[in-house]
Amino acid sequence: MYDKEVLSMVKSNPASGQFNGIYEELALLVGIDTVIKIYDAFKGQQITLPKRLFSQEFVTEQILKCCTDTQTIKAMALKYGYTERWIRSILKKHIDSAV
């Protein structure tokens, strides 16, 4: 895998330019140990990160739980990162399927 001496040196004296490309930015964000784990798990792969963190299924479940609360559609849209239109469509589907 890696020479333990090199890893020890990098960890004990982190400096700019030690990592290649995006690994440098990740090291600043999440730390060297985590970057090494990410590298080991995904090296050589192209990774695309979705714009939205939460799945539609999760957000739908949360919307349906909150629809009885006083939260507005706008507040839910901001909270979960989806549009008000999408949230209204989820609520409409739920109401239509309940009838």
Residue 70's pLDDT is what? 52
Q: How far apart are CA 87 and CA 77, in angstroms?
A: 7
Q: How far apart are CA 27 and CA 37, in angstroms?
A: 11
* Selection from 34, 35, 5, 30 nearest residue 19 by Cα: 35
pLDDT grade for 99, boundaries at 50, 70 and 90: low
Torsion 17-22-25-27 (CA) sign: negative
Q: Give residue 42's Cα distance to chain centre.
A: 16
Model confidence over 17-68: pLDDT tens digits?
788 888 888 988 998 889 888 988 998 999 998 888 888 888 888 888 876 5
Count the residues in the chain.
99
The pLDDT value given to residue 67: 66
Asked if residues 95 and 64 have their Cβ atoms less than 8 Å apart, the reply is no
Per-residue confidence (pLDDT) for residue 66, from 0 to 100: 74
**What does the domain layout of the chain look like in residue ranges?**
4-42, 56-98
pTM above 0.85, yes or no: no
